[in-house]
Amino acid sequence: MFSRKIFLIISYLFFSSTIFAAKVRIEGLQTVSLSVTELNNQYERGVKFWETGDGRSAFLALDSLRKIELTGENAMIKSKGMIYLAKCFYSQKNFSYAINYSTLALDFGKDSLLVDQRASLYEMLITSFHETHNNVQELFYFQLKKSLNDSIEYLKMQLQVDSLKKELEVQRKIIPTENTDSSEDTASLFYKAFCSLTPQTIIYTLIGFFTFVIALFLAFKKNKNKPKNKTLSTTETPKIDTNENKNANALIEKIAKVELVFIRADVLGEYGNKKTVVKIINDYNTQLPLIIKNLDEAITSNDNEPIITALSYLKPYLTAFGMSATLAMLNEVETEAATEKTTRLLSRVFQIRNHIRRAHDETIALIEVLG
């Protein structure tokens, strides 16, 4: 009986201590809660630490914002702290940490980030994933950035259209009506109203109308045919500087030292500046794997529109390289895509694909010569 009591007492003490320890652990894991003012002070301390060269203290101060309980009031300051850390690591080329803190910034600030802040984070993530060879995530954030830019442009056009509409309404209100004969027909009234408009108003109205039509067409096309393949940014080739024509001959002679089949030395050399030519080549070599990937995916879809979309990104480079035959073949494919079946286009599409891959080999040799 006595031993049974001792057993019960020991069991009670054991379970009590276990429950107490679990309670302490749970309380230790609870998220810290601070006021917005305290968070702002913590952020400013972290920034000052960084500016004075105390990177460790800066990291500890700003990283602590991550552990604060997320609320609608403090979301912006938490996101702001993560953005600052992301930029610090990005400037040090520590891309893994830049990715982590950029992602946290997007997560915390999903309802409070400004457009330019979101665009900046997308840009950092695109570069960071590129440097860490994560092509899937690179293309994902590239598409997000492109969608954001498209939305901004559409809003700008919409604001312009709304402004023109308001101006037109003002012009309509000031049209004199007191001498209008009630017996006039509708055509006569419209003619008088039109004649009362100033040339500037007519021009603005026409611009607004065509802008509105184009915006509707782009929105309709985007919603009707969402591209199945990932998209790339269209690269604009630099314009030839006529002031540098005196250097063109020397550059052409240097380029002509490479045995070229597809790239024309006389066309590429017309840019007259070695740095410009090297930039065009580097842009091409950077974009080419993505272009070919999208083109291959488009071919497997057996649909003309994705193929044309993928090919369209080649035009600036084909023009810069003087690959007129390949460009003419691409234009033929674009023209016939509206009426021909995909199978009738594929032989030329594969030829274009082979041409751009061989041009890539030529660019490697050109880089070695140009240094």
Contact in structure between 234 and 313 (CB atoms under 8 Å): yes
User: What pLDDT is stored for residue 141 in this prediction?
Assistant: 85
- Residue (of 36, 117, 115, 28) closest to 70 by Cα position: 36
Residue 313 falls within a domain, yes or no? yes
Residue 84 falls within a domain, yes or no? yes
Q: Count other Cβ atoms within 10 Å, centred on residue 166.
A: 10
Same domain, residue pair 272 and 354: yes
Q: State whether residue 32 is helix, strand or coil.
A: strand
Same domain, residue pair 198 and 249: no
| pLDDT > 70? residue 300 | yes
Phi, psi of 77 (to 5 degrees): -70, -35
| pLDDT > 60? residue 34 | yes
Same domain, residue pair 57 and 155: no
For residue 166 the two structure tokens come to 């308001």
Across 85-89, 104-108, 212-216, 333-337, least confident range: 212-216
User: What pLDDT is stored for residue 119 in this prediction?
Assistant: 87
Same domain, residue pair 120 and 155: no
Residue 178 falls within a domain, yes or no? yes
> Which tens digit of pLDDT belongs to each residue from 205-252?
666 666 666 766 666 555 555 444 444 544 454 554 445 455 667 788
Contact in structure between 32 and 69 (CB atoms under 8 Å): yes
Residue 144 falls within a domain, yes or no? no
Contacts of 146 (CB under 8 A, 6+ apart): 231, 233
User: What pLDDT is stored for residue 289 in this prediction?
Assistant: 92
Same domain, residue pair 168 and 83: no
User: What pLDDT is stored for residue 27 in this prediction?
Assistant: 41
* Boundary-marking domain end, from 174, 192, 224: 224
Q: What is the DSSP string of 41-100?
A: HHHHHHHHHHHTT-HHHHHHHHHGGGGBPP-TTTHHHHHHHHHHHHHHHHHTT-HHHHHH
* Boundary-marking domain end, from 101, 133, 165: 133
3-class SS letters over 125-154: HHHHHHHCCCHHHHHHHHHHHHHHHHHHHH
Same domain, residue pair 211 and 163: yes
pLDDT-derived band at 352 (thresholds 50, 70, 90) equals very high
Residue 5 falls within a domain, yes or no? no
* Boundary-marking domain end, from 102, 133, 164: 133
| pLDDT > 70? residue 179 | no
> Which tens digit of pLDDT belongs to each residue from 133-168?
888 888 888 888 877 777 776 666 666 666 666 666
Give the number of domains in the chain: 3
| pLDDT > 50? residue 92 | yes
Residue 59 falls within a domain, yes or no? yes
Same domain, residue pair 301 and 211: no
Same domain, residue pair 345 and 311: yes
Residue 231 falls within a domain, yes or no? no
Distance of alpha carbon 212 from alpha carbon 209, whole angstroms: 5
- Which position has the higher pLDDT, 85 or 156? 85
> At how many degrees (to 10) do helices 342-370 and 304-312 cross?
20
- Residue (of 272, 256, 254) closest to 264 by Cα position: 256
Domain limits for position 284: 242-370
Residue 110 falls within a domain, yes or no? yes
Same domain, residue pair 355 and 303: yes
Distance of alpha carbon 42 from alpha carbon 223, whole angstroms: 45
Same domain, residue pair 192 and 267: no
Same domain, residue pair 268 and 201: no
> Which CATH number covers residue 95?
1.25.40.10
Same domain, residue pair 250 and 365: yes
| pLDDT > 50? residue 24 | no
